[in-house]
């Protein structure tokens, strides 16, 4: 192992830069050359590759986004795209590749492994939708970004005594909504993992109104549907003022939290060590605060266990009538 390359792929996430820094500096510390591939797998196809050194990653640990840029490459999914990528890897003498991204990026890494390029994946996505790891890089920052917005929306929602539905990202995962909703004291959290009923939400809003609670925050995960549609449904049913706010890309930017920087540093460094141990086709993650690694296929086949206790807790704390499923008393 002499030449290590790295790329970021898929949606960016805060902390990717800290992971890049950890990969580059651990590699240099271990006497390896490091190549940075710009724009994900399309950069590999196009030979958009630069040499990296200690100073290429100076002053980035605190910055969101990714200095290597990112992309979702359709071409790489074709046989022709893969062939071009393999040729470039040969031309640049890439002995090992580190891919920072989500499940789609890991599938790309798997393809390269099958064709003889050792790869290690690092989980970088705000969605926290990779079951094999407790946390993905960027999730904690995204939750804090949402929380900051909830705090602000609370002020205006309270002043106008109205209901606000806040739509957050997460693809098919409800984790951002769940964590930010619990931390932000949301009255209702709507996520793909749990079915919901508009009638129940309306009843809850009316009960709140009857005990003088004149404003309410609902956090909705994008995987369920659109905030504007749900706002309209509630308004039509019980004729109360409801506003919808779609937080969008604001969630994905900004300075990574200490948690994400530390996670990214640990994962980045471990990924390099794995390549040096001649390991390949694996992903790194964190379980019970220990850095782990497992086979990509195995990691992606694990089904995400929904954190029922967090969901129930959020509901108990916001609704005196919430019945925890299965509770005896």
Question: Residue numbers of the site for ligand F6P (CB under 6 A)?
Answer: 11, 102, 125-127, 169-171, 222, 252
Q: Least distance in Å: CB of 218 to ligand F6P? A: 19
DSSP 67: T
Q: Least distance in Å: CB of 75 to ligand F6P? A: 16
Question: CA 19 to CA 190: how far, in whole Å?
Answer: 32
Q: Least distance in Å: CB of 316 to ligand F6P? A: 28
Question: CA 17 to CA 61: how far, in whole Å?
Answer: 6
- Structural element, H or E, at residue 105: helix 103-114
Question: CA 258 to CA 183: how far, in whole Å?
Answer: 17
Secondary structure class of 84 (helix, strand, coil): helix
DSSP 56: G
Secondary structure class of 233 (helix, strand, coil): helix
Secondary structure class of 244 (helix, strand, coil): strand
Q: Least distance in Å: CB of 201 to ligand F6P? A: 23
Question: CA 120 to CA 271: how far, in whole Å?
Answer: 6
Looking at 12, 127, 129, 293, which residue is catalytic? 127
Residues paired with 294 in a beta bridge: 283
The residue (of 147 and 240) whose beta carbon lies closer to ligand F6P is 147
Cβ atoms of 170 and 129 closer than 8 Å = yes
Question: CA 23 to CA 270: how far, in whole Å?
Answer: 8
**Dihedral (C-alpha) 113, 119, 123, 127: value to the nearest 10 degrees?**
-30
The residue (of 14 and 118) whose beta carbon lies closer to ligand F6P is 14
The residue (of 72 and 162) whose beta carbon lies closer to ligand F6P is 72
No. of helices (H) and no. of strands (E), the chain = 11, 11
The residue (of 15 and 208) whose beta carbon lies closer to ligand F6P is 15
Q: Least distance in Å: CB of 126 to ligand F6P? A: 5
Q: Least distance in Å: CB of 106 to ligand F6P? A: 13
Cβ atoms of 272 and 28 closer than 8 Å = no
The residue (of 139 and 215) whose beta carbon lies closer to ligand F6P is 139
Question: CA 311 to CA 303: how far, in whole Å?
Answer: 18
Question: CA 226 to CA 218: how far, in whole Å?
Answer: 12
Q: How far apart are the first and last CA of the chain?
A: 60
The residue (of 43 and 170) whose beta carbon lies closer to ligand F6P is 170
Q: Is 199 a catalytic residue?
A: no
Distance of CA 24 to the CA centre of its chain: 22
The residue (of 105 and 216) whose beta carbon lies closer to ligand F6P is 105
Q: Least distance in Å: CB of 175 to ligand F6P? A: 10
- What positions carry a catalytic annotation? 127
């Amino acid at each position: 192992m002499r030449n290590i390359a790295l790329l970021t792929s898929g949606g960016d996430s805060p902390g990717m830069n800290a992971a890049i820094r950890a990969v580059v500096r651990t590699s240099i510390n271990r006497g390896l050359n490091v190549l940075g591939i710009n724009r994900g797998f399309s950069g590999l196809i196009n030979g958009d590759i630069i040499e990296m050194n200690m100073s290429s990653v100076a002053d980035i640990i605190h910055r969101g986004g990714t200095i290597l840029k990112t992309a979702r490459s359709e071409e790489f999914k074709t046989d022709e795209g893969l062939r071009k990528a393999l040729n470039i890897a040969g031309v640049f003498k890439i002995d090992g590749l580190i891919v920072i991204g989500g499940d789609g990026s890991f599938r790309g890494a798997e393809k390269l492994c099958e064709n003889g390029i050792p790869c290690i994946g690092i989980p970088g996505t705000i969605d926290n939708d990779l079951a094999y790891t407790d946390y993905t890089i960027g999730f904690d920052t995204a939750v804090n970004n949402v929380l900051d917005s909830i705090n602000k929306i609370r002020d205006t929602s309270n002043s106008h005594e109205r209901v606000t539905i806040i739509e957050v990202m997460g693809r098919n995962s409800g984790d951002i909504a769940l964590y930010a909703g619990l931390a932000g004291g949301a009255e209702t959290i709507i996520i793909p993992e749990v079915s919901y009923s508009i009638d129940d939400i309306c009843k809850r809003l009316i009960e709140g109104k009857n005990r003088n609670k004149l404003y309410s925050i609902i956090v909705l995960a994008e995987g369920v549907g659109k905030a504007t549609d749900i706002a309209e449904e509630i308004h039509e049913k019980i004729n109360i003022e409801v506003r919808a706010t779609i937080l969008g890309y604001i969630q994905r930017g900004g300075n990574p939290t200490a948690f994400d920087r530390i996670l990214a540093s640990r994962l980045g460094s471990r990924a390099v060590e794995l390549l040096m141990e001649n390991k390949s086709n694996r992903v790194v993650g964190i379980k019970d605060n220990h850095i782990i690694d497992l086979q990509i296929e195995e990691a992606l086949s694990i089904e995400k266990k929904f954190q029922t206790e967090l969901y129930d807790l959020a509901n108990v704390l916001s609704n005196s009538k919430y019945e925890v499923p299965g509770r005896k008393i």
